[in-house]
């Protein structure tokens, strides 16, 4: 069973994370399906913009740790790594629609989206140090540019939760609306983009991001080396073992 649903309408591909019983935690199979959706959108000329969303009560609680640990080494063949590379290379506009928990990758993937809209019930967290791990998805490079170095250190190392208004202040989201208004807001913006001249939109995105892609991919690779080392540490193993005993 796939927990990633896609719908193509009026030039907009909506990618929905639908595993609410597990708070939309991302399994390896879900990463594969997310990558496939992005690749499909990339190749289909009728798709002008993509939207990634969860439910109005939950975006994603992050990695399904139990499944993630079964994935083996974090090489370029790992489903999570393949998804991150696809996220960075995606050449069409990508909009995120965020409500409820957006934990770990649920926050870091937003840094690769072109527009992010949040419901006022959203809760963001980057709990890497709490798990004995380190930043991923190039967040160690992107977040300091958004928030400044000291605030980025606070968010990535202390790992405390922050709300939608904080995310707006940090430059992580474009606007905050009620959960009831979120889908309509995102759909309206997506349709507006879909109706703009395609080549102009893609050229604009390319000018904004292309010069950064190489350095972002290098940061991801650098982070992965530390991440895998930490994942194998006794300290991290003890923390994760305690997590599963809860």
- Domains, the chain, ranges and CATH? 4-179 (3.90.226.10)
Q: What confidence tier does 71 reach under pLDDT thresholds 50, 70, 90?
A: confident
What pLDDT is stored for residue 209 in this prediction? 92
CA 155 – CA 182 distance, rounded (Å) = 25
CB 9 within 8 A of CB 47: no
With 90 as the cut, is the pLDDT of residue 64 above it? yes
CA 173 – CA 107 distance, rounded (Å) = 10
Q: What confidence tier does 138 reach under pLDDT thresholds 50, 70, 90?
A: very high
Across the range 15-26, mean pLDDT stands at: 97
Length of the chain: 246
The two tokens of residue 196 are 């703009």
The two tokens of residue 104 are 């770990």
CA 177 – CA 183 distance, rounded (Å) = 10
pLDDT per position as a tens digit, 195-245: 999 999 999 999 999 889 999 999 999 999 999 999 999 999 999 888 777
Q: Which of 64-78, 135-149, 187-201 has the lowest mean pLDDT?
A: 64-78
CA 237 – CA 230 distance, rounded (Å) = 9
pLDDT per position as a tens digit, 42-54: 999 999 999 999 9
Q: Which residues are paired to 53 by β-bridges?
A: 16, 97
CA 141 – CA 130 distance, rounded (Å) = 20
Give this prediction's pTM: 0.96
- 202 by DSSP, 3-state: which? helix
With 90 as the cut, is the pLDDT of residue 1 above it? no
Element (H, E) at 163: strand 162-163
Burial class of residue 246 (count of CB atoms within 10 Å of its CB; 0-12, 13-18, 19+): exposed
């Amino acid at each position: 069973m796939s927990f990633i649903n896609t719908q193509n309408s009026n030039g907009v591909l909506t990618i929905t994370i639908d595993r609410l019983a597990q708070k939309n935690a991302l399994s390896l199979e879900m990463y594969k399906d997310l990558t496939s959706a992005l690749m499909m959108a990339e190749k289909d000329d009728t798709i002008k913009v993509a939207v990634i969303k969860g439910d109005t009560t939950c975006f994603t609680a992050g990695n399904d740790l139990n499944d993630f640990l079964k994935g083996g080494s974090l090489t370029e063949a790992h489903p999570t790594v393949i998804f991150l590379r696809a996220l960075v290379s995606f050449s069409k506009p990508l909009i995120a629609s965020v409500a409820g928990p957006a934990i770990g990758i649920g926050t870091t993937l937003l840094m690769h989206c072109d527009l992010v809209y949040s419901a006022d019930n959203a809760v963001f967290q980057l709990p890497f140090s709490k798990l004995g791990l380190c930043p991923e998805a190039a967040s160690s490079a992107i977040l300091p540019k958004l928030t400044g170095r000291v605030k980025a250190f606070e968010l990535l190392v202390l790992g405390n939760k922050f709300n939608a208004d904080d995310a707006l202040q940090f430059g992580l989201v474009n606007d905050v609306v009620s959960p009831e208004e979120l889908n309509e807001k995102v759909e309206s913006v997506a349709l507006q983009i879909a109706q703009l001249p395609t080549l102009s939109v893609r050229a604009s995105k390319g000018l904004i991001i292309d010069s950064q892609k190489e350095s972002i991919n290098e940061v991801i690779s650098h982070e992965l080396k530390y991440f895998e080392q930490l994942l194998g540490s006794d300290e991290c193993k003890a923390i994760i073992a305690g997590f599963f005993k809860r």
